[in-house]
Amino acid sequence: MKILEVVPFEQIKNRHPESPSTSARSHQRASRGEGPCVLIAKSKWPSTTILLAVLVVLTMASFSSAQKQSHADVIFIHGDIYTGMGPQKLPQPFLEPRGVNDQALALMALRPERVQAIAVSADKIVAIGSNEEIQKFKGPQTQVIDLGGHFVMPGFNDAHVHLGSGGFEKLNVNLVGSKSLDDMKQRIAARVKTAAPGEWIQGRGWDHTLWAEQKTPVRSDIDAVTGDHPAIFNRVDGHIAIANTAALKAAGITAQTPDPHGGKIDRDDKGEPTGILRETAMGAVFGKIPPPSAAQRRRAAELALEDAARWGITSAQDNSDWEDFLTYEQMEKEGKLTLRIAEWLPFDAPVEQLVKMRQHHSAKDAMLHTTMLKGFMDGSLGSRTAAMLAPYDDDPKNAGIPRYEQDKLNAAAAERATAGFQLGFHAIGDRGARMALDAFAYAEQKSNNKKLRFRIEHDQVIAPEDFKKYKDLGVIASVQPNHLLTDMNWAEAHIGPARAKHSYPWKEFENNGVPLAFGTDYPVEPITPFRGVYAAVTRKNEAGTKEYFPEQKLSIHEAIAAYTTGSAYAEFAEKQKGTLTPGMLADFVVLDHDLTKVPPPEILKTRVLRTVVGGKTVYEAK
């Protein structure tokens, strides 16, 4: 097997395209920082040399003082390493929004798919190859880690998480998996016993569609176990919540309170609030809750990062509070940030504020920085608040709740795109997706910028004619396949068979040349990536007893690409991560199963043995 190598740029002009290179000499020159280097490989196309400058331009500045030698800081040997690059179908992230990147296409065909070992200096991969080849990078101070023949792949990049909520879920009442209303009430009652007088009781995770009666709770149910404590509990999707009487009183919500724009207050036959608050209506209550302390935020962040590392997540694209971002920033300063975080900013914030937030932290920091602006077009299917072009089949007077008026959305999108911000819109219903696409088209026209890589988050129900709009605008479909594992129990009943055929349409996106990025929506779903991979390749529930439009399933290679290179592309990081090749960040995960070879049900049982971020082990199974 030929080792991939770093070669001084000035040699390229004098080297014949067919000539072999000398890896040791090339590496030593790059390690000494003697000028720019590129990775080269001999092409299968006649008289063509592929210059991997698009992925790796290694200059003196890109090497730390520890790298000014021919030895690696650490080498990982005896692995079954899936590099993420190979002769299989080109992953979507290497498709430019307006066409195929020819250099990347050529490179994909040339790259070996499997290697045995990796050499790392500082936080980057300097070489991949056989055990024998990589042993040459071992020096007196080089750490050697034996991977035991296990399957290794690029670290998972979760393209959609809420780390702050995930951490606080562990500190508040965890209602995930509640089997009934009584189960939910018992969990709340247990927390109330330890609460200080007048303390707010919070939690999330209940899902009435899993209960036998499938009815949403009402405030009297919660009053029975919360007493004088004001309390509010989000449904699992975060788009509706149940508040008790004390919480409604604190927020001033009465029978006379009008529904806010983009939200709804559920009412009983007498017009009194039931306690169910939908979408923006929740804000009146949450606005009355005292903010968490710095210590609470720190603990929540630590718990969320531990969760991510345990499941092989090396990068996450996060939608949390600004105060959470500042917490991550402090952890980075202390050397305790174990996850690469790309933080989203609120679309609705004034542009001047957004610019200041963007300038607060260097965009070149590979561990932590801000990225896109997150806006909400609609709600969720489970709550029937997702905006639909036609009413729900099982709720014919309801077509969901759009969160914006189109003209105002278009103007805001254009203003922010002109300021150079990537836009990412939550859209679950087909009307929500249409609203986002129309806003993107307007923003692109007004900003004259076709390189912003607009994103739609969730993309659960798409009108067939809109796939072309995705493609034409270069919109990334940022999806969470794990949602289907539970949603398939009721999705078709909500939207009917015609719309269901184009729901959770991952293969249709692939077939239409739309880039895919995978995530979990943690903590709406567990942060484990294996449920999502399983759902993507099977379209079945976890028991394997129910299947949902199997023509939309993906191959295992497509699923892995969406979770690695696809997610990297979605955050403009495809030149830094997503593959295990020289010049890329040394982010990878060691698993007890080869995901590409085990039967799909075994994917769900996969254990993470080691998680590596920047060459450093941040989790190791005991």
CATH number for the domain that contains residue 267: 3.10.310.70
| Length, in residues, of the chain | 622
CATH number for the domain that contains residue 451: 3.20.20.140
By residue range, what is the domain housing residue 246?
A: 172-286
pLDDT of residue 113: 79
Residue 14 lies in a domain: yes
Domain end marker among 149, 180, 215: 149
Helix (H) or strand (E) holding 517: strand 516-518
Considering the domain architecture, whether residues 224 and 116 belong to the same structural domain is answered as no
Q: Which residue has the higher pLDDT, 22 or 347?
A: 347
CATH number for the domain that contains residue 143: 2.30.40.10
Considering the domain architecture, whether residues 134 and 201 belong to the same structural domain is answered as no
In sequence order, the β-bridge partners of residue 315 are: 157, 340
CA distances from 212 to 22, 184, 219, 358 (A): 68, 13, 19, 47
Please answer whether residues 556 and 153 qualify as being in contact, where contact means their C-beta atoms are separated by less than 8 angstroms: no
Residue 116 lies in a domain: yes
The tally of domains found in the chain comes to: 3
CA distances from 552 to 57, 498, 501, 537 (A): 38, 14, 9, 9
Q: Is the pLDDT of residue 16 over 70?
A: no
Considering the domain architecture, whether residues 58 and 89 belong to the same structural domain is answered as yes
What pLDDT, in 10s, does the model give residues 182-225?
A: 999 999 999 999 999 999 999 999 999 989 988 999 999 999 99
Considering the domain architecture, whether residues 125 and 215 belong to the same structural domain is answered as no
Residue 189 lies in a domain: yes
How many Cβ atoms from other residues are within 10 Å of residue 38's Cβ? 21
CA distances from 341 to 201, 228, 332, 338, 416 (A): 29, 39, 10, 9, 22
Residue 160 lies in a domain: no
Domain end marker among 504, 533, 554: 554
Considering the domain architecture, whether residues 135 and 183 belong to the same structural domain is answered as no
Considering the domain architecture, whether residues 451 and 487 belong to the same structural domain is answered as yes
Considering the domain architecture, whether residues 426 and 492 belong to the same structural domain is answered as yes
Residue 449 lies in a domain: yes
Phi-psi label, residue 275: left if phi above 0, alpha if psi -120 to 50, beta otherwise: left
What pLDDT, in 10s, does the model give residues 176-191?
A: 899 999 999 999 999 9
Nearest to 200 by CA among 169, 230, 233: 230
pLDDT of residue 86: 61
Q: Average pLDDT for residues 108-129, to the nearest whole number?
A: 82
Considering the domain architecture, whether residues 252 and 213 belong to the same structural domain is answered as yes
Domain end marker among 235, 258, 286: 286
Residue 578 lies in a domain: no
Q: Is the pLDDT of residue 15 over 80?
A: no
Considering the domain architecture, whether residues 141 and 188 belong to the same structural domain is answered as no
Considering the domain architecture, whether residues 418 and 517 belong to the same structural domain is answered as yes
Please give the Cα distance from 145 to 31 (Å, whole number).
22
- Token look-up 């991550």 returns 328
Q: What percent of the chain has a predicted confidence (pLDDT) above 90?
A: 81
Considering the domain architecture, whether residues 180 and 125 belong to the same structural domain is answered as no
Residue 367 lies in a domain: no
Which regions of 25-134 does DSSP assign to beta strands (E)?
Answer: 37-42, 49-51, 57-58, 74-77, 80-82, 95-96, 99-100, 114-115, 117-121, 124-129
Cα-based angle 532, 614, 84 (whole degrees, multiple of 5): 45
What pLDDT, in 10s, does the model give residues 19-55?
A: 333 333 334 333 333 333 434 333 333 332 233 333 3
Considering the domain architecture, whether residues 129 and 44 belong to the same structural domain is answered as yes
What pLDDT, in 10s, does the model give residues 258-302?
A: 999 999 999 999 999 999 999 999 999 999 999 999 999 999 999
Residue 590 lies in a domain: no
Q: What is the pTM of this model?
A: 0.82
